[in-house]
Amino acid sequence: MPAADAVIFASLQKCNGKRQNRYKNVTLIYFALQNGTMDAGNIVTRALEGHAEGMRKLAGIQNARYPLGALGKVVKEKEYFLGITGLRGIGKTVLLLQLAKEYGGVYFSADDRNLGGVAVYDAIRALSDAGHKAIFIDEIHAKPGWDADLKTAYDESLAYVAFTGSSAIGIRSLKSDLSRRAVVEHLKPASFREWLSIRKGAELPLLGMDAMLKGKTGLARKHGHIARQMHEYYATGGVLYPAKSQFYKTVVSTMETIAYKDFAAIKGVEKDTVENFFKLLQLVAISMPMELSYSSIGKVLQRNKVWVMRFLADVEKTEAIKRIYGCGEGTKPFRKEAKYYLPFPYRAALCESMGRPPNVGSQREEFFINHVDCCYVRTGSAQTADFKADGKVFEVGGPGKEGKGGCDYVVADGLDTTGSRVPLFLFGLLY
């Protein structure tokens, strides 16, 4: 053991003895110290082992993620580092692996135990010195000081870097020094169109809103066969891992990781607040979108209105819930109440865990709002159409839905395009 490490090792033993809280295996501390001083050769070896394992997993995915082309242009130009953020479990890792494969780079995950104690800068430096000039780092937020390390690596022109990270901890709002050196793109959950491509091998055209509305009859005739996949998308869509027997347990496990890892990392979030994270998701899953309010949520969580407002704002940063505000209200949660939704397939997974079926009406609305940027229409207590987007008002519902006053289009299950009716599945082809 090197002399310096021996001194630290002895100090830890002494400190533990005074606190009467001895480590069962103090050699674990020494192992961490050794990792902190890992030589460049070992860093390269372990990073390449992580790369090989990642590529092995990628071999089972035949189709490219739809954003690959656009993000690939950023990588190819190499003017800015590329950051990819978004909800956990929606395929950021797959996309990063595909980028690494396409552009001949090295992939590794920052939370790889084999690289414990290795700073982002040290990993980039070691790989660069070994001749690897394109580096793709997954879960970069797992490394302390990652943003400063990227800034230094960029300024020293060590290598090109693309990275992924959690939405919850502020990667989308980079410090000013790094923001001039990196482009951060937000990855949405897999659309119905992309899910059909990767899970079903079906390639559908990308549609614009106006073209879709004008051509709805022909589109329904040509692509109507895919409408039968809607309920499977409600149950397993949004994510790209296989819907095997333990699928919902995997989804719930992802939510747990968001709660206890990402959400807990938000500055100022308290431990009991993390425990309320799941209670909120369960409440949204069993409620109709308009049933919830600050007061009703506060009653369940036993908190006051101000606390609930702050709590919801923090949860929304993780993207585990989505709030749709009334038209003309901006995004300020201190005005009128929002409608509360979940990303797919959270509602189905949570309802399954609670032994109750998900409400299909809520799932229809979730399908629409997850594919369309919109606000909801509200005029006092009067019933109105549900959503407004691109200057048009849409009411979402089942096959027998009839539009109320002020509605431009009735968006419904089925393939009927009579009058103002538009099949709901067509909105899944908008991105």
| Per-residue pLDDT at 268 | 66
Whole-angstrom distance, CA of residue 94 vs CA of residue 86 = 13
Are 152 and 79 within one domain?
yes
Residues 198 and 315 in one domain: yes
Element (H, E) at 266: none
Q: Which residue has the higher pLDDT, 335 or 322?
A: 322
Indicate if 276 and 311 belong to the same structural domain: yes
Rounded CA Rg of the chain: 24
User: Within this chain, do residues 160 and 298 fall inside the same structural domain, yes or no?
Assistant: no
On the question of a cis peptide bond just before residue 205, with omega within 30 degrees of 0, the verdict is: no
Same domain flag for 12 and 79: no
Q: Which pLDDT tens digit goes with each residue over 132-149?
A: 999 999 999 889 899 999
197: its two tokens = 């491509």
pLDDT of residue 4: 39
- pLDDT confidence bin for 429, thresholds 50/70/90: very high
pLDDT at 2 over 60: no
Express each pLDDT in 347-395 by its tens digit.
Answer: 999 999 999 999 999 999 999 999 999 999 876 655 556 899 999 999 9
Q: Are residues 233 and 115 in the same domain?
A: no
Structural domain boundaries, residue 409:
194-429
- Tell me: do 19 and 157 sit in the same domain: no
* Per-residue model confidence (pLDDT) at position 381: 59
Q: What is the pLDDT of residue 9?
A: 39
Average pLDDT over residues 179-188: 90
pLDDT tier for residue 35 given thresholds of 50, 70 and 90:
very low
Judge if 26 and 42 occupy the same domain: no
Q: Do 207 and 226 share a structural domain?
A: yes
Which CATH number does the domain housing residue 345 bear? 1.10.10.10
Percentage of the chain with pLDDT > 70? 85
Domain C-terminal end among 186, 207, 242: 186
pTM: 0.84
Residue 169 φ/ψ, nearest 5 degrees: -105, 20
User: Per the structure block, which two tokens stand in for 64?
Assistant: 């490219």
Q: Is there a single domain that holds both residue 340 and residue 425?
A: yes
| pLDDT at position 267 over 90 | no
Tokens read off for 147:
């943003």
Task: Please say if the pLDDT value at position 46 is more than 50.
Answer: yes
> What's the CA dihedral at 224, 225, 228, 229 to 10 degrees?
-100
Is the same domain home to 251 and 400?
A: yes
Domain count along the chain:
3
Last residue of a domain, which of 130, 162, 186?
186
Is residue 275's pLDDT more than 60? yes
Q: Supply the CATH number for residue 61's domain.
A: 3.40.50.300
Question: Quick one: average pLDDT of 155-159?
Answer: 97
**Residue 106 carries which DSSP code?**
E
**For the chain, what percent of residues have pLDDT higher than 90?**
67
Please report the pLDDT score of residue 10 as a whole number. 45
Domain end point (choices 186, 205, 233): 186
What pLDDT is recorded for position 170? 62
Residues 255 and 180 in one domain: no
